[in-house]
Copies of this chain bind each other. A is one copy, B any other.
Amino acid sequence: MLRISKLADYSTVVMSYLAREPDKMHNARDIMEHTHIALPTISKILKILAKSGLLRSHRGINGGYTLVIPPDQISVAQILAAMEGNVALTECSGQHSHCSIEPICHIRSNWRSISHVVQESLKKITLADMLRS
């Protein structure tokens, strides 16, 4: 259905919550209470986002996560890329393509450019935009 994964979906919810107080540190439990996403799921998302560089983590008592970049400079495309790689609507638009009909496929380049168009529109939407409903 041209869906993003649930984990990626939740990650935008988490990032939006963090973006409301960009400088404050939030731990997983705090995020759970405000988003109602299950704790292990949140924890998993936070780790991925931290690893990709969108969040900075702090261990220990009073630890948690903060945004590394201001909300108006983080795009939805960046968040999706962190969670599930670059936008590629078809197999052949991605990095390591293994489509068997690729050698004789006439519309491959078209799908590449369609993916590009979609990606560009997702780049234009920032976390700051997501705060405005």
Contacts and interface: CB of A to CB of B under 8 A. Distances in A.
Interface stretch (A6-14, A21-29, A43-51, A55-63): A6-14
Interface residues of A, number: 44
Contact of A89 (B2, B17, B94): B2
Contacts of A121: 114, 117-118, 121
Contacts of A18: none
Nearest to A104: B36
Nearest to A86: B1
Nearest to A108: B133
A67 interface: no
A90 to B, nearest CB: 5
A110 B88 CA distance: 22
A54 interface: no
Interface in A104-120: 104-107, 109-111, 114, 117-118
Given A1-B86, A2-B89, 10 more contacts: A1-B88, A2-B80, A2-B87, A9-B111, A12-B111, A13-B106, A13-B107, A76-B114, A107-B133, A114-B125
9 contacts: A1-B86, A1-B87, A1-B88, A2-B3, A3-B90, A12-B111, A13-B101, A36-B100, A106-B133
